[in-house]
């Protein structure tokens, strides 16, 4: 589970363009995270604290464990991130549309190799996941904007 926490923290740093050298604070009631807080501090450059009452971006690890981050306190320029995210969403929507069109074309399916079709399906699946992540990011960025 600790490995999953580290992976999710690294993913969040990338998604929200947080400098990898920046020490972040995560909030969790998980005894396991509290127990390994020194390890997480060293490996993931984070401090583990008990949940607070502020607005937190919740990250689920599994059914029983999660942690929260006041992610927007680490975003340098929220407006720039919103604009960048909107552009990324538009690009992903265009890519998804093209892939869906290609995969719905019977001639493509009939003439392309099985590997090419499977590669296109996998690419489509990855783009949809990226799009969902970007939409979630935009929702978080806009939520703070409305305060």
Backbone CA torsion sign across 9, 15, 16, 19: positive
When pLDDT is averaged across residues 50-63 and rounded to a whole number, the result is 70
Flag whether pLDDT at 10 surpasses 60: yes
Flag whether pLDDT at 146 surpasses 50: no
When pLDDT is averaged across residues 79-93 and rounded to a whole number, the result is 95
- Give the rounded percent of residues in the chain with a pLDDT score beyond 90: 39
In DSSP notation, 6-44 reads HHHHHHHHHHTT--TTS-EEEE---HHHHHTHHHHHHHH
Q: Are strands 57-60 and 66-69 parallel, antiparallel or unpaired?
A: antiparallel
When pLDDT is averaged across residues 68-94 and rounded to a whole number, the result is 90
> Tokens 């009631």 appear where?
29
Confidence of residue 5 (pLDDT cuts 50, 70, 90): confident
What is residue 147's predicted lDDT score, i.e. its pLDDT?
A: 45
What is residue 50's predicted lDDT score, i.e. its pLDDT?
A: 82
**For 21-53, how does the pLDDT look when each residue is reduced to its tens digit (9 = 90+)?**
889 888 888 888 888 889 888 888 988 888 765
Query: 0.85 cut: is pTM over it?
Result: no
When pLDDT is averaged across residues 68-84 and rounded to a whole number, the result is 86
């Amino acid at each position: 589970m600790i490995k999953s926490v580290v992976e999710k923290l690294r993913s969040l740093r990338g998604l929200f363009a947080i400098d990898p050298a920046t020490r972040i604070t995560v909030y969790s009631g998980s005894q396991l995270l509290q127990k390994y807080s020194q390890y997480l501090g060293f490996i993931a450059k984070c401090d583990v604290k008990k949940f607070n009452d502020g607005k937190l971006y919740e990250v689920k690890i599994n059914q029983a464990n999660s942690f929260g981050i006041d992610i927007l306190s680490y975003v340098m320029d929220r407006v720039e991130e919103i604009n960048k995210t909107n552009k990324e969403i538009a690009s992903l929507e265009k890519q998804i549309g093209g892939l869906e069109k290609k995969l719905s074309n019977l001639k493509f399916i009939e003439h392309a190799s099985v590997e090419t079709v499977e590669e296109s399906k996998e690419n489509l699946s990855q783009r949809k996941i990226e799009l969902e992540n970007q939409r979630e990011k935009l929702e978080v960025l806009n939520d703070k904007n409305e305060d």
